[in-house]
Amino acid sequence: MTNWAEPSPRPPEPRSRQVIGEETLGWAIVGASASAAHHIIPAIRSQPPLPAPDVSYPVSNARVVGVFSHDEGRARRFAEAHYIPHSFANLADLLARHDVDCVYAGGHPRHLAQTTLAALAAGKHVLCETPMALSLGDALAMAHTAAGHGLKLAVNCRRRVDAAIQAMLRLLLEGEIGDLLGGRVDNIELLRPSLHTWRLRPQGGGIALDRTVHDIDLLRFLLRDEVQTVSAINTQHLLSDSVEEDVVAWVAMRRSGLLIQLHDSYILPHVVGGVTLYGSAGTLSARHVFVDDTPSELLLIRHGQPVSVPLDDIDPYAETIARFHAAVRGQGRPVASPGDGFRNLAAALAVRESIQRGHRISVELPERPLDDRGLA
């Protein structure tokens, strides 16, 4: 039985009644996935109401209007389990609804580009899962289409707003560990049997597109730098002969020249993953940043003595949705732009190419900067 199929308790009644107003953003969920069920939908529903002094009740910030799945029965069961008014097996019907403003493009990676382009063509803002596409050409088309339609396209790089990563960035900017000397990222968690689906098959599966893409994003975010070259090996096959499942890579950054080691694995149990950066005056180690069931922590290490750094209380999913809403309303920027998604994908594909060819690969980026407004 799929995890989401078991009905969750009905959401508690709000302390005060909320009404649907013109400012309320309506969401379409594309992909009846566990991630949508356990993280995205609760994050949408947790957003605080909008101030509305001229009405009796506060206006709801956002609501979930409908869900799409290629399997009609799956869509219907998902909607019933999560109290969603409408379910669809035809994506065009869901995108045609006037009460849908935003689309969460989730599900199988091979569908993300097609879903996103369809949603943008229908005039909807899109929060797209990672990897945003399977090819750089599709990723570029998505960015251009969003810019051409004046719509917001964001990539769900939620790990950026993890509490430990936010604190690590602040300490790096303050020079707390001196000059950076190197680092490593360990994105390691035994792949649960329920996830032994597309992740272990070609056309979207494999650890490079599933996890390494997040490693790259955090390095780019924390170091304010881009990836120059990658060199990677696939150490062993235990779960699948079709895709990489345990990868060690060495990433050279473009401006700083720093060399960072990555280790991503589906097959190693009992490992605490995270991001570690070494400096001339200390080391910062953010742990549990790639898992959702354990709170992250940040250690500042000097002379072999670790000290725990106090962290803010941040829900990465709720914060990602909040910033996306702000961007849609013209009040800010999303957590990650299509340019971020493009650059992360370029590096992850270079990791795959390095494994296949057995040598170092340069990461080629557009000559002109790519951001959430398209090519500048």
SS (H, E, C) 121-164: HCCCEEEECCCCCCCHHHHHHHHHHHHHHCCCEEECCHHHHCHH
| Half-sphere exposure (Cβ direction) of 40: Cα atoms closer than 13 Å | 26
Q: Are residues 32 and 71 in the same domain?
A: yes
The predicted model gives 162-175 an average pLDDT of: 98
Q: CA–CA separation, 73 vs 80, rounded Å? A: 11
Long-range contacts, stretch 271-274, CB < 8 angstroms, 24+ apart: 271/186, 271/188, 271/189, 272/186, 273/186, 273/187, 273/188, 273/189, 274/164, 274/185, 274/186
**What's the mean per-residue pLDDT of the chain?**
92
This prediction's pTM: 0.93
Domain of residue 248: give its range. 160-314+342-370
Residue among 309, 259, 314 nearest 283 (CA): 309
89 and 39 belong to one structural domain: yes
Residue 1 has pLDDT above 80, yes or no: no
Residues 44 and 192 in one domain: no
Residue 46, number of CB atoms within 10 A of its CB: 15
Count of structural domains within the chain? 2
The pLDDT tens digits of the residues spanning 280-337 come to 999 999 999 999 999 999 999 999 999 999 999 999 999 999 999 999 999 999 999 9
**294-318 burial, b if ≥16 CB within 10 A, otherwise e?**
eebbbbbbeeeeeeebebeebbbbb
Residue 3's pLDDT band (cuts 50, 70, 90) = low
Does residue 321 lie within any of the structural domains?
A: no
Cα separation, 219 vs 222, in Å, equals 5
Domain end, chosen from 125, 158, 191, is at: 158
- One domain for residues 164 and 138: no
Domain boundary among 126, 158, 190: 158
pLDDT for residue 182 = 97
Percentage of residues in the chain with pLDDT exceeding 70?
92
Residues 65, 300: Cα–Cα separation, whole Å: 44
Model confidence at 229, pLDDT cuts 50, 70, 90, reads: very high
Within a domain: 145: yes
Cis peptide bond N-terminal to 11, omega within 30: no
Q: Considering the domain boundaries, does residue 182 fall inside one?
A: yes
Given 158, 187, 202, the domain boundary residue is 158
**Considering the domain boundaries, does residue 323 fall inside one?**
no
Q: Do 32 and 148 share a domain, yes or no? A: yes
Give the whole-angstrom CA distance, residue 73 versus residue 71: 6
* Higher-scoring residue by pLDDT: 88, 13: 88
Instruction: Tell me, yes or no, whether 141 and 190 share the same domain.
Output: no
More confidently predicted of 373 and 322: 322
